[in-house]
Amino acid sequence: MATPESRTESAITPEVVEQHGLSPEEYERVLHALGREPNLVELGIFSVMWSEHCSYKSSRIHLKKLPTEAPWVICGPGENAGVVDIGDGQAAIFKMESHNHPSYIEPYQGAATGVGGILRDVFTMGARPVANLNALRFGRPDHPKMKHLVQGVVAGIGGYGNCVGVPTVAGETNFHPAYDGNILVNAMTVGVADADKIFYSAATGVGNPIVYVGSKTGRDGIHGATMASADFGEDAEEKRPTVQVGDPFTEKLLIEACLELMATDAIVAIQDMGAAGLTSSSVEMATNGKAGIRLDMNKVPCREEGMTPYEMMLSESQERMLMVLKPGKEAMAEEIFRKWELDFAVIGEVTDTRHMVLEFEGEVVCDIPLGPLAADAPLYDRPAMSREDYRAWAGVQPLETAPGSTDLGADLLKLVASPDLASRRWIAEQYDSQVGADTLQTGGDAGVVRVHGTRKALAMTTDCTPRYCHADPYEGGKQAIAEAYRNLCAVGARPLAVTNCLNFANPQRPEIMAQFTGCLDGMGDACRALDFPIVSGNVSLYNESKATGGGSAILPTPAIGGVGLLEDYGAMARIGFAAEGDAILLVGEEARHLGQSLWLRVVHGSEAGEAPPVDLAQERARGEFVRRLIGEGLATAVHDVSDGGLLVALAEMALAGNIGCSLDALGGPAAAFGEDQGRYVVTTGQPDRVEAAGIPVRRIGTVGGDSVAGVPLTDLRAAHESFFREWMEA
Amino acid sequence: MAFRGAVITFPGSNCDRDMAVALEKVSGVPALRVWHGDAELPDAVDFVAVPGGFSYGDYLRCGAIASRSPIMRAVIAAAERGVPVLGVCNGFQVLTESGLLPGALMRNAQLNFICRTAPLRVENNRSLFTAGYDQGQEIALPVAHHDGNYFADEDTLDRLEGEGRVAFRYLDTCNGSRRDIAGILNARGNVLGLMPHPERAIEVDHGGTDGRVLFESAVKGLVAA
């Protein structure tokens, strides 16, 4: 078959192939898939569909090993977002996604469009978004760009989420030099839908109209997916034009228009135009429906004159969706979108050819067989170091002799003032966390939002401890899942399922693949042991940068987003100490593990030691125990023990409740700051009624007074609030 | 008589549902929902709420485009007839832009969006909206805005103070507002604009019920009338 003439004329030279991010071997696959040379439009489509970002070519074979099923899972990975049953005919729909590279180049728009993209993934499936979360990793605060990046990312997340009217209720923020040249911005959205009104992406019904709605297509973001699939060179700044610009106002209209149309019976399939825009949405819809697709590029609403089919197919303009409608529903659908002042255009139809055919000015400019586009896609089983070799590479040694402490109170003050533990108030106050009037809790172990008009509530959290993942990818992967599980249990929620955002460096290096496979193995084991399956996710590779002269890889960062259900939010726990005289119970043993602890890093400047191991059976038993205490109304406050150990957990509970505590015995630095896993602090007014039933539970003190471990609350609060205030007001 | 409250929805409004829920929870009557493109309010409406959000994206100036929408002509006419009009957050901005209330809401002094619970003092409990509070009562309501920094010239501020038209005042320097003004009334007392969100504080589960009093005051006043 002859190659359709491309309006964008240039010949396909090896240089053009390389500019499209395809290796010579991958280009051979293109020739095989097509059975001929591609034109430029076709090359562009192959290039984005086979990019790491869209094809998961380095990760796919490993992702298959993750557990994705449970009786309450309605839809696992593969669609726009995961779906779980929350009872009463309702479903929670959620996903997390990265927007790392754009956020480093242009922090406000990068972060804002990250929020916009994940929102679309969720409302595409029929859910009204009810909450946003985020997981952020920045470099060292004294890096010359870092203040600007933090300000831009936080303002961008707020600027988008606040405008669309979805509360931002939880998140996490860490600082480490490994992110100096490659920050991580992961955004998560949770939505609620009727379980019998979930919308999927499979285009079916030959002759059904394909409809484009939302914003017009511009030249922004062309090749964003390809950019996100390479590490940064010296020229990161020059890539600014590949960052998209978000318009949350249009997104808000798109949410309302889509939900209004979804309430009717008009939609066959719907897909948002995210990374790789019109290309990936149309290819995925046709492929999922085992159908073909024909588009008339002259009908695509364009923002600029003279746009070529190549530009239209690769644009990543925001706030756009593609739908397949039932025949005869076009006029009714158009009326809804016009009411919301959005573009609406029938741009093509579903065919039975299993080809993607694009026409422009009466000529075929692209004809790609969809079967080979998927089947011939590259798939790599990249070599990984063994666990032993990795340990040697990472230089991990057991912590033989831990340093001592002359003043635990002084150490506590240092810890609560450190970047990773300081009050996040400066960040949190820039997000509207209350819009919707259903937010029940923020700032604790998990955000909690009630299901509108019911007594049910969804708890949600994002978690990962990258320094553990670096020291021991397997235990670190387990820990990320276990901490999410723990944070949901700590508010009284039954953990349901997980979404994830797997941020790693260059997979072509065996030590990075060792991190990737190790973390996934740990996550998989933890998900199985905790009945906490993975229902959606995203992989972001090549997170390393030469831009700062470091050539540095990020720490392995498999960010976990956990969602849980409170059947009745009347039984919900918070972290703040509630009443003087309450007994303080430690669930779990006295800590011994100081390796990889924040205390070691903040007080002694050392990142030595092994990551703390996670006992998954204990984790589950203790989580169920804590949930039972909360359900029976015995717990007056609950907090998991994580970064900074027991004393930091107690300080956070004291600050949240504005009451101090007295402790029976402090022990040494290991007991105070060790980061042994599977532990909670619970307070109760009825300690005699707590039946431990095989769980290690010990009274360690009493709520009351105005200090913690001899440190006045006023000093603790001043230290806790100091970091962001001094940094941002300087 | 039954309470007939209406909530306006502009493109970009995002507190319209919350406002309608609050009106229904307090009055027991579902709120009427009104589209920005409508030229008329529903018949015999006796309370109009202009909700928060980002009307028309708040492009140009916050509330500026909404203030020129067809429905606002009807709202202005209703206000001139004495129908009570409540504007919250973006609604307050719409009311100043449409001339129903004096002054303007500028970017917060700290330049950031702020979402927190703000301590307030009730400065006038003689209006329809505030009759259920004690004079001088200290309350707490959530704020969530980027442009809540109230500005008016000194003469206008003096007049507002002198006529008892400052309804709520921040007890801290929330956003840089002149004289810490959080909410003001029109001369007739039937139009209230405020930046804090009373509709987010009507249930114990919201963490406070100080906003409920505002709606109860209005419903009680109107049903008794």
Q: Note whether A429 contacts B199, CB cutoff 8 Å.
A: no
pLDDT, one tens digit per residue, over A654-702 is: 999 999 999 998 889 999 999 999 999 999 999 999 998 899 999 999 9
Structural domain of A633: 573-730
CATH of the domain at A634: 3.90.650.10
Name A555's Cβ contacts closer than 8 Å, sequence gap at least 6. A137, A176, A178, A179, A466, A467, A469, A470
Least confident of A244-248, A250-254, A263-267, A268-272: A244-248
Confidence of residue A233 (pLDDT cuts 50, 70, 90): low
Nearest chain A CA: its distance from B134 CA (Å): 25
SS3 content of chain B, % helix, strand, coil (to 5): 30, 25, 45
Report in angstroms the alpha-carbon separations of A608 from A509, A519, B208: 23, 19, 47
Average pLDDT of chain A is: 94
User: Phi then psi for B82, rounded to 5 degrees?
Assistant: 105, 5
Number of domains observed in the structure of chain A: 1
pLDDT at A730 over 80: no
Mean pLDDT of A706-718: 97
For residues B82 and A387, give the distance between their C-alpha atoms in angstroms, rounded to a whole number.
Answer: 77
Mean pLDDT of B173-178: 96
Mean pLDDT of A433-461: 98
% of chain A residues with pLDDT over 90 = 90
Mean pLDDT of A488-492: 98
Confidence at residue A235, expressed as pLDDT on a 0 to 100 scale = 59
Confidence at residue A7, expressed as pLDDT on a 0 to 100 scale = 47
Confidence of residue B140 (pLDDT cuts 50, 70, 90): very high
For residues B94 and B67, give the distance between their C-alpha atoms in angstroms, rounded to a whole number.
Answer: 5
User: Is A722 a domain residue?
Assistant: yes
User: Is A629 a domain residue?
Assistant: yes
Residue A132: which of A423, A445, A458, A425 has the closest Cα? A458
User: Is A695 a domain residue?
Assistant: yes
Confidence at residue A231, expressed as pLDDT on a 0 to 100 scale = 63
Confidence of residue A223 (pLDDT cuts 50, 70, 90): low
pLDDT at A498 over 80: yes
User: Is A367 a domain residue?
Assistant: no
B174 is catalytic: no
**Candidate from A340, A430, A434 with C-beta closest to B11:** A340
Q: What is the DSSP string of B7-62?
A: EEE-TTB-SHHHHHHHHHHHHSSPPEEEETT-SSPPTT--EEEE--B-GGGG-SST
pLDDT at B151 over 60: yes
| Helix axis angle, A107-123 to A248-262, nearest 10° | 0
pLDDT at B225 over 90: no
User: Is A287 a domain residue?
Assistant: no
Confidence of residue A211 (pLDDT cuts 50, 70, 90): very high
pLDDT, one tens digit per residue, over A274-321 is: 878 999 999 999 999 999 999 999 999 999 899 999 999 999 899 999
Q: pTM of the entire structure?
A: 0.96
Q: Note whether A434 contacts B142, CB cutoff 8 Å.
A: yes
Which residue among B15, B62, B145, B197 is the active-site one?
A: B197
User: Is A311 a domain residue?
Assistant: no
Confidence of residue A11 (pLDDT cuts 50, 70, 90): confident
Average pLDDT of chain B is: 96
Token representation of residue A18: 């390389």
Beta bridge partners of B32: B6
Is A355 labelled a binding residue? no
pLDDT at A725 over 80: yes
User: Is A474 a domain residue?
Assistant: no
CB A165 within 8 A of CB A252: yes
- Give yes or no for A570 touching B (CB within 8 A): no
- Give yes or no for A724 touching B (CB within 8 A): no
Mean pLDDT of A444-454: 98
pLDDT, one tens digit per residue, over A393-430 is: 999 999 988 899 999 999 999 999 999 999 999 999 99
Three-state SS letters, A359-380 = EECCEEEEEEEHHHHHHCCCCC
pLDDT at B129 over 90: yes
Of chain B residues 139-158, which have a CB less than 8 A from chain A? 142, 144, 146
Which of B112, B141, B143, B202 is the best mutation test for A, with the most CBs of A within 10 A? B112
Confidence at residue A274, expressed as pLDDT on a 0 to 100 scale = 82
User: Is A284 a domain residue?
Assistant: no
Confidence at residue A504, expressed as pLDDT on a 0 to 100 scale = 97
Confidence of residue A227 (pLDDT cuts 50, 70, 90): low
Mean pLDDT of A563-573: 97
For residues A29 and A52, give the distance between their C-alpha atoms in angstroms, rounded to a whole number.
Answer: 15
Provide the number of CB pairs (under 8 Å) joining chain A to chain B: 78
Confidence of residue A239 (pLDDT cuts 50, 70, 90): low
Between B64 and A233, the higher pLDDT residue: B64
Confidence at residue A371, expressed as pLDDT on a 0 to 100 scale = 93
